[in-house]
Structure 1
């Protein structure tokens, strides 16, 4: 059994046999004319389906107009970052002065990566997986 037949419960008809089973078989120019009519019908169905999907999408869509953008003056080390940001991308930031790190302490490479260094380990815990396994 073909996968199409298993899925839909009927045999797959090729473009040359789109007519019904009991219809007389077409040959020559009639076959071409019949196939062209079927292609036009399928194209119309596709246009209808596309129009329906567009109307569903248009219901949720809202018109937005953006007029404001900010251009940042970035240091020469950050030339790879695009300096223009749209206002919708910016968020209010309430910074904690104790967490501000001087820019000179961070070495950013050309591909905008940096190496992290641990300052201090605040806690330490050792687990024995064998003991844990026996306790269960």
Structure 2
């Protein structure tokens, strides 16, 4: 972060060439703590939405002064996401049930989003931004 409040983020350690149309890729393109749920659930095509998810994780980490989703394994990472954002379903994420690994995990039943509880001091605009960055449906992110 610069002295003027400008945040610059760069980590090209797992970078891949991106183009249109998207080509199938391995889902292991982001450090686990910043990995979008579609990657954790086996989606093979990726868009810039995975970078937006990671930026949301970094923003939340800066706000909380600690990692937001410090998973120790992929299933633990999914569980932390569900605890924070609620259980994904077809209503909020069309196509969720068709993801390659969606049926391999039994997700906890978490009916609501906990971002407001995790960041009670954050403004409505700040919460809207985090909710946008953490949308389950990558087409809306």
Which structure has the larger Rg? 1
Pick the structure with more strand per residue.
1
TM-score normalized by the length of structure 1 = 0.22
TM-score normalized by the length of structure 2 = 0.21
Pick the structure with more helix per residue.
1
Higher relative contact order (CA 8 A, sep 6+): 2
